[in-house]
Amino acid sequence: MEPYLPTLASRVGSWLFGDGPENDVVVSTRIRLARNVRGFPFAARMTEERAGEISELLREKLKENPATKDLKFLPLKRTTEVCRDALLERFLISRELAASKLDRGVAFDDAELLSVMVNEEDHLRMQSLRSGFDLEAAFDRMLEVDRALESSVEYAFSEPLGYLTSCPTNVGTGLRVSVMMHLPGLALVPRELKKVFNAASRLNLAIRGLHGEGTQASGHFFQVSNQVTLGRTERELVDGLRSVVPKVVEFERRVRKTLFEEKPEEFEAGMEYVAQLEEG
């Protein structure tokens, strides 16, 4: 058996405790940063040898840095597919990192609130997670780790553009702010859900499925995140979601209340259907 699997099976990441702010609608908050190290090719053009070099370099920097020294590092090339699937289900790694053939790894803490992926689409994909709608705590932890690592490795950076990334849509801050929301009420009233989607689009926000880009909503879970990273500061991107998410939360609560009061049978049937979807 994979040595780390029993540890994963014995606990749940604390961002899944359901004890954060607005937890009746907001499941979790995630802040993600994309960074690359100057002097190394982007992952898409990386040779196996260079991938090994940067993997070892970043592993050592993570171990040395006070902000990340307590993280556990798993070299994914030596793990089983079952272990990688488990890490993916826990949102500790991405589908891209799980499928990659390069020398790669992931570092994370015991509470599973911080994850640092090495050699994903970028050299570093760092994410900070929190239960419920807790942008400040997630953002502060992400800034702490980012600044600490930037003091020990030189990031690929351009004065006019900002941080350079493999995908042009991440150039600039390299920041993605996302909130996972459970919207069964709005999902039962498609015209209202469409209003939310349209409003988000006008505000340069994206609404995606459970595992982000390219995935469909499952069990009426949706991720709301920024689409623009260039030309705005990290704080502006965080504040953008801060201004929108509470409105969606209130909208969902009103729809749930209306359905429950005016159409209790339909509401109960819909919630039973949602429960069946969540159980698989």
Half-sphere exposure at residue 79, Cβ-oriented, CA atoms within 13 angstroms: 26
In the prediction, which pLDDT does 214 show?
47
pTM for the structure as a whole? 0.84
Read off the pLDDT of residues 138-167 as tens digits, 9 standing for 90 and up. Answer: 999 999 999 999 999 999 999 999 999 999
In the prediction, which pLDDT does 274 show?
56
For the chain, which domains are there? 31-171 (3.30.590.10), 173-280 (3.30.590.10)
Read off the pLDDT of residues 44-81 as tens digits, 9 standing for 90 and up. Answer: 889 999 999 999 999 999 999 999 999 999 998 888 88
DSSP 42-86: -GGG--HHHHHHHHHHHHHHHHH-TTTTT-EEEEGGGS-HHHHHH
Give me the residues of the chain with pLDDT under 50, please.
214-215
* Alpha helices in the chain, H assignment, sequence order: 5-9, 48-64, 81-89, 95-99, 135-150, 184-187, 190-202, 234-262, 264-279
In the prediction, which pLDDT does 270 show?
61
